[in-house]
Structure 1
């Protein structure tokens, strides 16, 4: 539900309220004692109020200000009723301000701040996997009963950016942004040896992100290239036995996109992404341990050719290339598996027929036998499944 007013006491005001309720099942895995199928149940209630106020300092200068509020109740049980991650209820409120000031025809500055206060209520639970070795054989054999409680967090984050127009279609930009998240708490709790949530008191994750790049926008060409670098004093990765390891980390990468209308009926485009990441495993200031495969994918290239030979008829050929990654050649631990490259080509065509549109699509046009990245990096037998072969779909849709 959304409400907008273009001129309320001199400001453009927007209010949005939403509800999201969903349940998602994941694949059966022998990782769980006796095997099991995990799922996520989540109910969210959210509210966002914001106002854009002209400042009059320079032409186009304005202040965006408002508040976000959220209540999120989430649990991660197994389908048989056992608890994998406990039910958690998060309540948060975050006022924010964002300033935009064009200083000259070619230069624009942006900056802002966001203060977030939140609490997380966790119910009593028992860890799914054993955490204590009671018979001295070196293998945990007793699960941990954990007393629930309430965790509280707050954070003040800043952001700043600059855009410089070199020439009318070409912009250079740079930005700095801070982030704050408690999304790793569930992972930490499900393997804890602490007697209570308050004793464990898992820390929230803060991230500093830096970005520089360039973009071009003309009538026939849209392109961008971006380099980024992020750091966190408290990242989250899996250890050799699925335990959560929290340590300093940094991630850096490159992204590029392009879309070109070659001539009226022909368009081409593509994307490129490359990312690397390491963590400081022994906290000595040296980042020597690569981040696992669930955090760092191999390089990826996509491309497409789209033709519109007649009004109402479009054809598209697209390609996906996923590269290789072997950051842990001597390890068989989770998320440290070798990833081999593969290529997939898809073909689709859409034509207007009557009141609607007829679409035919062929996924994996050449019926390539391959294993997606998500099947390779876990290094688990029950996740090593090939991608879907050639798949043909035919659909007819009507919009009214």
Structure 2
């Protein structure tokens, strides 16, 4: 199949129940996207449609730049930042993979400024590490299946919003240098991180330029052992180059160009001493002996490139605005070398795969606010088109997942009605048209050992067509500040991880593979309450789908085969923000989620369901020049399964509780800022939840031991 990227599309970015920022107005940096509200509170959507926080019938999380920067002082891994700050987000895996890092038990669609970064056609669970957090203005997290986003958003969306220049500052710059190392076994653990940032504004033009480079040393557990290299971070190098520039044609019209390049690869001279949860020993790494070299190529993203051109007109006609953009994204994500990808008959002792994805699209969004008497009304409508070409070849030339060429065209309408300033109704519809073509291909013969091999199948390709209409409805009643209840219902259409189905095909025609799209119905009921210096938010939810994508091990072939069984997932979240004083704030949250395969009433494994999570953060603004942050993360037990033949299997290992404390802070001296962070302050010896639950060999890697990060920043 001839690879092609085309851009004759029209598209929507997103509306309705979309990312929202909720902060006190006095805390907001005044940028072109933010303005004070009379109520003292505002929220911001990913589509630049601003609305008051009391008009949102959903629970949505946003991590502000101040929070991101404070977390970077401890760890630059986005997984860790999200786990510590977002209720409903599963705990981090402690590795480069975001496998098990679900949102309310389902996979989330990761985006940069609305541009998809995930590869849902072959979900390799690597989409969260696609940009360096240094260039983020905020992260917006929409929870639950949403009918206003396309394929891959079964659990919601994670939208990385990139940095904007400060208004009324013609030119500013900063340079940051830091080093991260183990406090208990320094040898070989020290790394180096460098970031430079330059931005400026004028009447007609603004820009942001950033360059980041980070080299990590050997990552070590609480006992000084080097962590295993499967999805590892030891001796990895990452680079991020970012450009954003806007030109204002007049007061209503503007053009914006955004470019981002990110790579992060591990090429360590280490070898794993492999174990599993069925033994008493962790998987750890040791240095290679002299004269030996690492097997395989460096793992991680070789280069994630994003390019976007955006046009905005805030007055295309009466009370209407237009946003239109074209984008292109390419990525090559390389996995670790695996002996299970062997085929001795053809001379292959193992293999290394790579997910290749190329996306291109154009989105058009129109927002209209008709002037109707006694009724505050908003109509948001547009169309979205996307071409996504994804495959998973092996680096030795074999093709594991054939090239999938998807054309996705969708249109939608989202409405909002406000009655008597207290009743808010939102309703929307999205029509999805997906056409996906695959050439004839053959599945691979793969051998787990000399006697356990899969049998290759020649599969006749063709075209798969999906049509779906999804709906959403939300209601909020602002009864009083102390009690504002809301309800929402939203659907999502999902054909995630089609590549896994294709590569394990046991039939000779693509039309005989169970590739049906899954429709997810997501229900949410909750409330928000304000009591003086305290804000409380509670939400309970349920998510149903007719088809799932769990896996079951086939001992005859050594392959994990997908199971397309109906699923139900349910849970609740509680978040409390409390100002202890003008300088001291406390934020706490608790998340609980559970799920079952409803066809046989079996609990879902750790690939989807995370154990209960409690987080609390204490933020102390000591004075105008110094700040301190203390973060506590507690992961509770989840033990739902029994052993099979006296062994744990798949993702069904028992998770025992553990807790982690992080500390970070800074002090400012004129133009120099000194900062420090400590991850795992008390040097807890533990296994992350993923390491406890995954029975696959090589995954039982311990968590990072106490690690110090020291740095200095100079402001020009």
TM-score over 0.5 for the alignment?
Answer: yes
Q: What SS is found at the alignment partner of 2:396?
A: coil
2:577 alignment counterpart: 259
Structure with more relative contact order (C-alpha pairs < 8 Å, separation 6 or more): 2
Segment of structure 1 superposing worse, 206-215 or 194-203: 194-203
CA distance in 2, matches of 1:160, 1:198: 34
Segment of structure 1 superposing worse, 78-87 or 272-281: 78-87
1:216 alignment counterpart: 529
Tell me, yes or no, if structure 1 residue 152 matches structure 2 residue 470. Answer: no
Tell me, yes or no, if structure 1 residue 40 matches structure 2 residue 40. Answer: no
Deviations along 1:357-378, whole A, 9 cap, x unmatched? Answer: 3321111111111111222222
Tell me, yes or no, if structure 1 residue 246 matches structure 2 residue 564. Answer: yes
TM-score normalised per structure 2: 0.52
CA spacing shift, 1:230–1:108, aligned 2, 3 Å = same
State the shift of 1:198 in Å.
Answer: 2.8
CA distance in 2, matches of 1:295, 1:182: 16
CA spacing shift, 1:62–1:379, aligned 2, 3 Å = same
CA distance in 1, matches of 2:505, 2:352: 21
1:285 alignment counterpart: none
Q: What SS is found at the alignment partner of 1:263?
A: coil
1:71 alignment counterpart: 387
CA distance in 2, matches of 1:163, 1:141: 54
CA distance in 2, matches of 1:358, 1:90: 49
Which of residues 192, 209, 214 in structure 1 aligns to 2:505? Answer: 192
Segment of structure 1 superposing worse, 157-166 or 321-330: 321-330
**Alignment: residue pair count:** 389
Which of residues 316, 338, 363 in structure 2 aligns to 1:8? Answer: 316
CA distance in 2, matches of 1:386, 1:103: 54
Deviations along 1:57-84, whole A, 9 cap, x unmatched? Answer: 4442111111111111222233434333
Which of residues 201, 221, 225 in structure 1 aligns to 2:538? Answer: 225
2:684 alignment counterpart: 368
CA distance in 2, matches of 1:281, 1:201: 17
Which of residues 81, 84, 89 in structure 1 aligns to 2:405? Answer: 89
Tell me, yes or no, if structure 1 residue 177 matches structure 2 residue 503. Answer: no
Consecutive unaligned residues of structure 1, counting only runs of 5 or more, are: 132-136, 283-287
State the shift of 1:340 in Å.
Answer: 1.9
Contact 2:501 2:513 survives alignment (8 Å)? no
CA spacing shift, 1:375–1:113, aligned 2, 3 Å = same
2:327 alignment counterpart: 18
State the shift of 1:140 in Å.
Answer: 5.2
Q: What SS is found at the alignment partner of 1:381?
A: coil
CA distance in 1, matches of 2:705, 2:619: 23
Which of residues 38, 42, 50 in structure 1 aligns to 2:365? Answer: 50
State the shift of 1:268 in Å.
Answer: 0.8
CA distance in 2, matches of 1:141, 1:26: 21
CA spacing shift, 1:73–1:358, aligned 2, 3 Å = farther
CA distance in 2, matches of 1:225, 1:31: 45
Contact 1:86 1:125 survives alignment (8 Å)? yes
Deviations along 1:65-107, whole A, 9 cap, x unmatched? Answer: 1111111122223343433322212111111001101122211
Larger relative strand fraction? 1
1:134 alignment counterpart: none
Contact 1:146 1:195 survives alignment (8 Å)? yes
CA distance in 2, matches of 1:179, 1:154: 12
Contact 1:29 1:382 survives alignment (8 Å)? no
CA distance in 2, matches of 1:321, 1:202: 38
2:155 alignment counterpart: none
Segment of structure 1 superposing worse, 110-119 or 162-171: 162-171
State the shift of 1:200 in Å.
Answer: 2.2
